[in-house]
Structure 1
């Protein structure tokens, strides 16, 4: 990917993360916003939205780091197992392990009521549902069935590792952030895994155009010398 397209790619990832987190916060943290509107404190209300946008943008940077780490891991995995099929089975096992870890070691210690389990169950379904949707979309876009598992692995395992910051917390309002931070991570990761081929193709097209311009300048220079 060219530097220009990488900057575009990173920029839109940041914007998506910020916007998704800001919108999600209006729903998940409405009790935080409501007093500002009730008291007519519009500036404070907007400042709170901007703060949540920045929080989402920050998570998007983490998601970008995780994405490029995954690309390296994927290539290493294929090289180690020397078979895409075997590597896919390894990824399936890792997906299961991570989901069990989330339920047993992350959700269970913080679940004190049935309501807590309902919330955690919904979040788990959102994580898995988003992964399945993104994986199916990726297969349709690429016409390559084997990318289903690798996309699922990225969306579940890598997103969970990025989500671990909130999952490991135990503050009084940690459930709010557990719910809130999942959405920008999923949105940014889905954008990255789906749109990377587009930006790679654009980079290849830009390089070809640049090469044509260079050849045209060389020919023009030769013609001028003649």
Structure 2
């Protein structure tokens, strides 16, 4: 990829992170910020918006680092295993392992081992649904071989990037970080070929 297109790709992902974080941030905290909009406090609204944009850009940089690591691991794995089917089997195992741990370990640590496990299924299910949609779109864009790897990025790498919010386990932060990460990863997955074709 030419350096010009690489820079455009980088800033495009920054824009996705900033935009999604701003929308989700105001949506999550609407009860707190609606008075600012009703009283038309422009400076206050802008200061909050700039904060969300900055946080969103940080999330997008985390997603981009994860994407580069994913591409590197994927290339090395194909060279080492010499078999697409074997690498896909390993990725499927890791997808199942991470999804199970995301439910069970969160319930174990934050559910205090009591009550229903159902509330801890919702977020992994959301990640799985968005991951399947993105992987299906990637498969349509290129070939069937890319489906498992795309799902691996969308689930395993998103969860690893999401780890700081998982440790805090505050509901607002969980959503504020997760949805921009999913958006950035899906954008990178689907838009990279278009940026590459411009080169």
Could you state the TM-score of these two structures normalised by the residue count of structure 1?
0.81
Cross-structure match for 1:187? 183
Cross-structure match for 2:10? 10
How far apart in 2 are the matches of 1:201 and 1:114? 52
Secondary structure of 2:33's aligned partner = helix
- Cα distance change on mapping 1:47 and 1:21 into 2, 3 Å: same
The CA deviation at 1:48 is 1.0
Matched residue pairs, number? Answer: 198
**Is 1:27 equivalent to 2:27 in the alignment?**
yes
- Cα distance change on mapping 1:110 and 1:13 into 2, 3 Å: same
How far apart in 1 are the matches of 2:79 and 2:96? 22
Cross-structure match for 2:55? 55
Could you state the TM-score of these two structures normalised by the residue count of structure 2?
0.92
The CA deviation at 1:180 is 1.3
Which deviations, in whole Å up to 9, do the C-alpha atoms of 1:4-40 show, x marking residues without a partner? Answer: 0000000110000110011011221213313434555
**8 A contact 1:106–1:168 mirrored in 2:** no
How far apart in 1 are the matches of 2:106 and 2:6? 34
The CA deviation at 1:91 is 0.1
- Cα distance change on mapping 1:178 and 1:117 into 2, 3 Å: farther
Cross-structure match for 2:162? 163
**8 A contact 1:92–1:149 mirrored in 2:** yes
**Is 1:139 equivalent to 2:135 in the alignment?**
no
Which deviations, in whole Å up to 9, do the C-alpha atoms of 1:116-135 show, x marking residues without a partner? Answer: 953x4332222111100001
Cross-structure match for 1:213? none
Which has the greater radius of gyration?
1
How far apart in 2 are the matches of 1:16 and 1:147? 23
Cross-structure match for 2:45? 45
**8 A contact 1:111–1:117 mirrored in 2:** no
How far apart in 2 are the matches of 1:145 and 1:46? 45
Cross-structure match for 1:176? 172
**8 A contact 1:88–1:149 mirrored in 2:** yes
**Is 1:197 equivalent to 2:196 in the alignment?**
no
Cross-structure match for 1:151? 150
The CA deviation at 1:84 is 0.6
Which deviations, in whole Å up to 9, do the C-alpha atoms of 1:52-79 show, x marking residues without a partner? Answer: 1211111000100100110000011112
Root-mean-square deviation over aligned CA pairs: 2.0
Cross-structure match for 1:210? none
Cross-structure match for 2:129? 129
Cross-structure match for 2:36? 36
The CA deviation at 1:155 is 0.4
Unaligned runs of 5+ in 2: none
